Structure 1
Amino acid sequence: MNRFLNEYTSLTADLAWHTNIAVTRTSERSVAENRELYDLALRGLQCLSSWSVQVLDTFTWKLAHCADEHTNRECPSDAENYERATRYNYSSEERCALIRLVTMIKSVQTQLLRLETNYSEAIRRSVYLDLHGLLNHFHNLLAKANSKKKDKIKLNRLVHALQATCADQTMVDAVEADLIMTGSSSSGGGKSGWGGRSVSSKASAQNSLTSSSNSTLAKAAASMSGTPMRRVGPSSTQLYLVRTILELMIDQASPAAKYHSLRKELDSSTMTAIEVFLKNSFYWPYLLNFSETLVKCCDLSQLWYREFFLEIANGTRIQFPIEMSLPWILTDHILETHDPALMESLLYPLDLYNDAADCALNRFRRRFLFDEIEAEANLVFDQLVYKLSDQLFRYYKQYAASILLDKRFRAEAQKAGWREPYPQPNRYSSALIRQRNVQLLGRSIDLSCLLSQRINKAIMKSLEEAIQRFQCSDITGVVELEALIECNRLCHRMLSEHLDLDDFDDMLQEANNLVTSPLSKIAFHVFWEVTWDLVKNYCYNGSTNRFVQTKFALAETLEREKPQLCPPEYLWGSKSLNSCYEAIFQLYRGFIGTPHFSAICRLLGYQGIFIIFIEIMKFCKSLINQTIKEYVRRIGSMMPKSVSLPGPTANSEIQYALYSLSLQRVYQYSDLRTNVCQNFRELGNIIIFCLQMEKCLTTEDLCDLKHADAFIRKPPAATGERSNTDPKIRDQQNRLDALNISKVASTVGSAELVELTDGNVVLTRERLCCGLVLFEQLLHRIRDFLNEEDPQPVVMNGIARQVPRNVWYGSEACGTTVDADELIEIEGCTQFHRVWSAIQFVFSTPFGENEYTVEEMFGDGLNWAGCTLITLLGQQRRFEMLDFGTHFLKLQRNDKKDTSKEGVCLARLATRLSRFSVLNRQIFAILNNYLHPIDKPDNQANVRHFPPPQWPRA
């Protein structure tokens, strides 16, 4: 095999060199250059024939020596004869050697066919030159010979016959014209010829061109050396006669050699010239039919034919499956071994079907053989495209996943003794992906197009599997979903460098169901998980800014479908990479925090977030008007008409006794620590979710605006503001104007690009100038829900009528608060802030050591719901002044009492109330950043500045 590789390397180098010269040549080739092409063509045919013979000999020997279970352990005992001869009869090394030989044969054939006309022309010119060079040599030999011996005469006659056989038509015309003008040869009259007959000079010229050594034909042949060489070789008859005459001259092996051999009449140079000519002219029939000879030398059709084994199958087999066919065995071996050195040879074994089909049509002339070959070739090519596209997608998916794998995780894993390598480099791009004209059975197949179609389907399926995986998990899987989409995006970008793939965003929209519906699959699942799992079963912790699952669930557990088993290549590319990313994303499954909300913002965009907010508002309206309002009305009916403020002599124990007695019915309300807190927790979690989404969306917008800053003009200065007149600053601004994307698009872009650019600039400016805050709009919508009238049946004078009564304000009026100058009933308990103060005081009271606290059961969402409703109702200042817990906390901090007479730990109660007080102040501060509270005093004052006094100078 090493010898073959060396021959192949040397031959391909010479072929490539001559190909480059032929492409750039503008003048006609010289004699030496024609000789080089002649030698190269002969050398190529010799190498091809020797390699083909080696392949066919190996194949024939394998057919005669089939494998069995003793020589190959993988061979089953019931394997068929042909299966033993092909499938189990070649080792991996032998298959690699066969693949290399077939590749060498077909690649050299392609290079020779590429310049077949140049080689054919050079061959004919070289043959013409060699043939007439020999004739000139004989002419010089006859010119020196004056002997009249019998052997000399025989030699002269044979030489003249050679010249007559191979003479050019122009030479014959010149000889006849010369003979007519001269009238005879060197003697003036008739002369006795060989055999005793006397003929005239003119008759000798007309009837025979062998009258003497100084004939005119010899002179004409000698004069041909100065004429241009023709690009035509001798015919098969001419070549046969010339070789026969020359062999007759020098052959000593025949029985008549002692009578006809003329070797003694020839000198050594002539003998050498004849022997060289006979040796070289042996290849002329093959070289003159260069195209046909090339096809025969590369014919490997016998590697497919299996008629003998079909005959001995006794009709049990009409045809063998492709697993037993040697062309597919070689092709499949390349795909299964993943050897980069063999990947470039993947399409060469398919050329065996072309050889077999050509043999069936042109040699055997049997249509049924061609039909069988065509059927198998179609099946093999389909399998090739399927397996190749699968490997191609898997390779680039692994490559993309390896690139995106966290570097710190890789470093820590390597320290622990485990290493995740990058995929082995392969030669897909240069060898296969860009093939657009694969010749198979007379058809030109666009392999790149077929691969593009299957890769598009693979990426689409990968996106669908990622979304399906997210739909079968809770909302914590959104981080993994975003990473999977980014991995597919990177894989698509790398494949797009070699294939014509569909746009990735279009495929993502199709997989996400955004083509036929405004609500995507991701947005719907996010909404479903938020409303039925996050707001019901999660507790918010303000210190960590995370949602964690509650230990005491009051809502039903959300049932999800189990994810289907998915091949590794549709996730991260391999099982090991799947394990790596599973370990990484497992860290995001115990909570819901900023990474999850950021991923939701990036995946949904403005449209998806808007739709989710609209649906959440509907859910929130139903929650407030149908559930929370009813619970507030019930608890308000349990409140006393008034609760006095603590006097100057009051202490914490007395005040606790007063509050516990006044709120006794609230303490005894069974639904308070379950359904009431659960509904308030749901409302609070909705508000916190929207706030976190607003923060993450703002972060994303700021990043976009920061990146677009250099391409957007500076907003115009306000009226009356001084413009910057510094020339340096104006020069810098003029330089940045050249980067303005609108100017660039209008200069070099199309009308469509200009329209898109203007739309994006307007959108970016609106985002920059408007400052739209979704969370603020959400709060205003909740305020509108609170201000809706709630008719209640009231019986007056025996007549039932609907009287609007708002439970949030505790009055007949709706949606208004008292003016600042109007007196406030500080002991009344009808407004919501007093109800919420009572609820907070009740669930702050410690009952036992092992009981769940409201923080563990409901989290901070409970406080967010109450504080948000208080702020939206304009009751924040009243709550801060009249809160039960605040008054008790001041008294307890003053007297430091630990336990009441009822056994309640007042210190623990004060600690819990202190924590809730701090939390409430934080919530009020956040809400006031987005709202302008109605009851908050306006501290802005108009101050007039007077100029300092001025005195005239003395």
Structure 2
Amino acid sequence: MLLDKRYRAECAARGASTGSAAGRYASLLRQRHVALLGRHVDLCALVAQRINADMHRALDAAVAKFEAGDITGVVELEGLISVNRLCHKLLSRYLTLDDFDAILRESDHGVLAPYGRITLHVFWELNFDFLPNYCYNAATDRFVKCRGIQFAAGVSREKPQQYGHALLWGSKQLSLAYSAQYAQYVGFVGAQHLHALVRLLGYQGVAVVVSELLDVARGLVHGCIAQFTRALQAAMPRHCKLPRYDYGSNGVLGYYHAQLTDIVQYPDARTELFHAFRELGNIILFCMLIEQALSQEEVTDLLHAAPFQNILPRPFTAEGEKPETKQKRLEAKYALKAVTIAEIGRESDHGVLAPYGRITLHVFWELNFDFLPNYCYNAATDRFVKCRGIQFAAGVSREKPQQYGHALLWGSKQLSLAYSAQYAQYVGFVGAQHLHALVRLLGYQGVAVVVSELLDVARGLVHGCIAQFTRALQAAMPRHCKLPRYDYGSNGVLGYYHAQLTDIVQYPDARTELFHAFRELGNIILFCMLIEQALSQEEVTDLLHAAPFQNILPRPFTAEGEKPETKQKRLEAKYAALQIVQNVDKYGTAKQGQLSREGDLLTRERLCCGLSLFSVVLRRLRSCLTAPQWPAPPAPHHHAPHHTDTTTEFHRLWSALQFLYCIPVGDTQFTVEELFGEGLHWAGCTIIALLGQQRRFEALDFCYHILKVQRVDGKDELVKGIPLKRMVDRIRRFQVLNSQIFGVLARHLAADDERAGVEHVRCFPPPAAPHTA
């Protein structure tokens, strides 16, 4: 079934068989009660057990066959998996089989292990055979081996176990046919292999392979290439000019040959240096081409999904009927239903006359009184969850809803039970599903209202509770706090900081009120960022839905000798009935034409096309930090140097707070992650980034300094009741988290700086010359 039709037709014309005919096993496979020796046997279950076992063996044989060959066998591996997938699909009509993807993961040993056999063998082949022995040819866009020359030692692969034809392609004839087909992809690595790699490995496998290749590239650059570069730079002439044209080309060639004699005669240039550069170039080319293949596969997936995204088909028109009339009738039929439902929805939401509906008001009420005080963000699951067993704020009192019958909710009792069980999966957390539902229900206006109200709450937190605690803690900070030298050791550095920050560590309201205020501010920042992501994804979906009605058509396939312009014009003429703006301008009134053009403009111009809601939120928060209510230190003199020991800036206070929550707690105590999630870190890092203190924080942080010193001496001691190694492990986790947060914020803040067009340059006076007597 997967063989090429023309190939099968030619084989049939010549009397050659390409496979066995379909057997009539359906009636046998349906037998559940077969009388055998006085007992009833479930023939279907017995056959399913053996088919499951054979399916496992077949996929294991496919992967083992791939492991016994080079990287070019990936195309054949994909073909074997496709054949087994089709076989599984056909047999699943009558037999209860295991899920095919689960069988494939088990055969690939990818159920528990982070990387499967396919991913590991791909990297192994890339590292030991592809990079050393293949050369890229841009004319054919392929990697090929140099004929007759082996650059590296021969690769020893395990000899595969001999499998029968039934476990591979099904029969001897099919094995011969498929072997001849896939023999065309042996001896080179091209687009077919890269596409097969992308489909087999997926995002995770491609990321693993690229990451490992980057490690190989780093080893080449820092090792062999750097070593040869130093040696050749020493052999280069100190000066080498560009000769004038008067010397002629022969004179210029002689000059360069004389100047570069040591380079030309360098013995290892062609034997080792060029090979190292070729391996590095192969890594760069492979990463570029794998990205191209991945992009093409993603575009193909989007094109496949387009028919299932609510795009109305062109109606059938009999002879004499106008297609425009039937198309308008169909559009009016579905538009009327949509308008009617929308009007009923606005009336039920009390949004006909009021600026905000009941849904918008209740969303903000829940965010303000339950979500912000009681939820914590977990980046591992990308969800906000409640801390188990702890209620941070007073209980929320909600009105008891009126009891409605099943007919008014889901239609019947059975449907109510079914839907209740379905939507019970989304209770107890706030994640991507909830944010997408909010975006679809609230729309632009509702999202704008909610974000505006949340910014008012954030302003109140920054100018109120957080500013008050900041003043109190800055008064408790030591006036000067140095970075101790490495000679003191990590235990000495930890003891020094613990003594300097005793007042901060023992501050009574740090964990009870201050961290909660920071967590609420961080929840606001995270919610605004995630709601923008959900809004952008919904807008992209809308743009994909609207593309066929805006004259955005795919480029048609053109055979050899055909003109693409002709086929493109033919395609546009074929789908001209779907073009709303042109048809309204042609058949409608002037007002209708203007409305259609405005609608088309509003459809094209979306926030996801260059605008950022989260950047606006950050700008508003920055204005809160520049207001007089925020306790900012006195501005230094324009030419005054920055003293690294002072503790007046906010990043030094946050370093002290980070030292506090990096201290390990007992087994029976709640950690900072359990109590406050990652909203605490988002709030602190956002304030530091908006104040422009990120570089100083990363350079002068107390915990980071302890981590650097401990990496050097590797000590593991108990300092004032604090286990040093456990604390360093916590510091490293929070350092990675802070770097991720700063990276996200930098993208949005950098976009603002580019739009502002202002470059902040700090000028320092030149050093004064020493006076000579």
**TM-score for both structures, normalised by structure 1:** 0.41
Residue in structure 1 matching 2:748, options 930, 933, 937: 930
- Decide whether the 8 Å contact of 2:494 with 2:706 is kept in 1: yes
How many residue pairs match? The answer is: 416
Residue in structure 2 matching 1:919, options 727, 737, 741: 737
CA distance in 2, matches of 1:586, 1:714: 41
Which residue number in structure 2 is paired with residue 746 of structure 1? 585
Amino acid across the alignment from 1:689: F
Which residue number in structure 2 is paired with residue 836 of structure 1? 654
Residue in structure 1 matching 2:716, options 891, 898, 901: 898
Which residue number in structure 2 is paired with residue 616 of structure 1? 454
- Decide whether the 8 Å contact of 1:710 with 1:739 is kept in 2: yes
Query: Does residue 669 of the first structure (1) align with residue 507 of the second (2)?
Result: yes
Cα separation, partners in 2 of 1:852 and 1:714, compared to 1, 3 Å: same
TM superposition shift of 1:786: 0.7
TM superposition shift of 1:769: 8.5
- Decide whether the 8 Å contact of 1:807 with 1:831 is kept in 2: no
CA distance in 1, matches of 2:454, 2:736: 29
- Decide whether the 8 Å contact of 2:665 with 2:671 is kept in 1: no
- Superposition map of 1:783-822 within 5 A: 783-790=622-629, 807-808=631-632, 810-812=633-635
Which residue number in structure 2 is paired with residue 697 of structure 1? 535
Name which one, 1 or 2, has greater alpha-carbon Rg.
1
Amino acid across the alignment from 1:740: Q
Cα separation, partners in 2 of 1:893 and 1:500, compared to 1, 3 Å: closer
What are the Cα deviations for residues 511-544 of structure 1, in whole angstroms up to 9, with x where unaligned?
Answer: 0011121111111111111111111100100111
CA distance in 2, matches of 1:933, 1:777: 11
Cα separation, partners in 2 of 1:698 and 1:935, compared to 1, 3 Å: closer
TM superposition shift of 1:907: 1.3
CA distance in 2, matches of 1:541, 1:588: 16
Which residue number in structure 2 is paired with residue 488 of structure 1? none
- Superposition map of 1:594-633 within 5 A: 594-633=432-471
Residue in structure 1 matching 2:473, options 614, 625, 635: 635
Q: Secondary structure at the match of 1:649?
A: helix
List alignment gaps of at least 5 residues for structure 2: 1-92, 98-329, 554-562, 760-773
Q: Secondary structure at the match of 2:488?
A: coil
What are the Cα deviations for residues 733-778 of structure 1, in whole angstroms up to 9, with x where unaligned?
Answer: 8647764321111112345532331221121232278522111101
Query: Does residue 515 of the first structure (1) align with residue 352 of the second (2)?
Result: yes
Amino acid across the alignment from 1:537: N
- Superposition map of 1:403-802 within 5 A: 503-551=340-388, 552-712=390-550, 727=565, 731=569, 735=573, 739-767=578-606, 771-790=610-629
What are the Cα deviations for residues 406-428 of structure 1, in whole angstroms up to 9, with x where unaligned?
Answer: xxxxx9xx99xxxxxxxxxxxxx
Residue in structure 2 matching 1:887, options 698, 701, 705: 705
- Decide whether the 8 Å contact of 1:837 with 1:885 is kept in 2: yes
Query: Does residue 910 of the first structure (1) align with residue 733 of the second (2)?
Result: no
Which residue number in structure 2 is paired with residue 824 of structure 1? 642
Cα separation, partners in 2 of 1:645 and 1:683, compared to 1, 3 Å: same
Which residue number in structure 2 is paired with residue 157 of structure 1? none
List alignment gaps of at least 5 residues for structure 1: 1-410, 416-492, 716-724, 791-805, 941-954
- Decide whether the 8 Å contact of 2:518 with 2:683 is kept in 1: yes
Amino acid across the alignment from 1:529: E
CA distance in 2, matches of 1:908, 1:597: 37
- Decide whether the 8 Å contact of 1:899 with 1:907 is kept in 2: yes
Which residue number in structure 1 is paired with residue 119 of structure 2? none
Q: Secondary structure at the match of 2:647?
A: coil
Query: Does residue 845 of the first structure (1) align with residue 645 of the second (2)?
Result: no
Amino acid across the alignment from 2:647: C
Cα separation, partners in 2 of 1:769 and 1:593, compared to 1, 3 Å: closer
CA distance in 2, matches of 1:502, 1:930: 38
- Superposition map of 1:35-46 within 5 A: none
Cα separation, partners in 2 of 1:882 and 1:644, compared to 1, 3 Å: same
Q: Secondary structure at the match of 1:850?
A: coil
TM superposition shift of 1:663: 0.6
Residue in structure 2 matching 1:874, options 688, 692, 697: 692
TM superposition shift of 1:826: 1.1
- Decide whether the 8 Å contact of 1:872 with 1:933 is kept in 2: no
Q: Secondary structure at the match of 2:429?
A: coil
Cα separation, partners in 2 of 1:501 and 1:699, compared to 1, 3 Å: closer
What are the Cα deviations for residues 797-836 of structure 1, in whole angstroms up to 9, with x where unaligned?
Answer: xxxxxxxxx524x2247xxxx98x8632211111111111
- Decide whether the 8 Å contact of 1:539 with 1:858 is kept in 2: yes
Which residue number in structure 2 is paired with residue 95 of structure 1? none
Cα separation, partners in 2 of 1:761 and 1:836, compared to 1, 3 Å: same
Cα separation, partners in 2 of 1:617 and 1:768, compared to 1, 3 Å: closer
CA distance in 1, matches of 2:453, 2:607: 27
Cα separation, partners in 2 of 1:541 and 1:768, compared to 1, 3 Å: closer
Amino acid across the alignment from 1:633: R
Q: Secondary structure at the match of 1:548?
A: strand
Q: Secondary structure at the match of 1:931?
A: helix
CA distance in 1, matches of 2:568, 2:338: 46
TM superposition shift of 1:728: 5.1
Cα separation, partners in 2 of 1:668 and 1:933, compared to 1, 3 Å: farther
- Superposition map of 1:30-109 within 5 A: none
- Decide whether the 8 Å contact of 1:871 with 1:933 is kept in 2: no
Cα separation, partners in 2 of 1:555 and 1:769, compared to 1, 3 Å: closer
Amino acid across the alignment from 2:696: R
- Superposition map of 1:203-222 within 5 A: none
CA distance in 2, matches of 1:712, 1:502: 22
TM superposition shift of 1:576: 1.4
What are the Cα deviations for residues 831-888 of structure 1, in whole angstroms up to 9, with x where unaligned?
Answer: 1111111101111112422111111111000000001111111111111111111111
TM superposition shift of 1:686: 0.5
What are the Cα deviations for residues 260-310 of structure 1, in whole angstroms up to 9, with x where unaligned?
Answer: xxxxxxxxxxxxxxxxxxxxxxxxxxxxxxxxxxxxxxxxxxxxxxxxxxx
- Decide whether the 8 Å contact of 1:874 with 1:934 is kept in 2: no
Which residue number in structure 1 is paired with residue 156 of structure 2? none
- Percent of aligned pairs with the same residue? 39
Which residue number in structure 2 is paired with residue 802 of structure 1? none
Q: Secondary structure at the match of 2:722?
A: coil
- Decide whether the 8 Å contact of 1:742 with 1:758 is kept in 2: yes
TM superposition shift of 1:889: 1.0
Amino acid across the alignment from 1:833: H
Amino acid across the alignment from 1:613: V
TM superposition shift of 1:701: 0.6
What are the Cα deviations for residues 551-599 of structure 1, in whole angstroms up to 9, with x where unaligned?
Answer: 3332112111222211000111111111111111111102110000000
TM superposition shift of 1:935: 11
CA distance in 1, matches of 2:671, 2:571: 61
Cα separation, partners in 2 of 1:874 and 1:713, compared to 1, 3 Å: farther
Q: Secondary structure at the match of 2:480?
A: coil
RMSD between aligned residues: 3.2
- Decide whether the 8 Å contact of 1:601 with 1:697 is kept in 2: yes
- Decide whether the 8 Å contact of 1:652 with 1:888 is kept in 2: yes
CA distance in 2, matches of 1:542, 1:548: 11
Which residue number in structure 1 is paired with residue 66 of structure 2? none
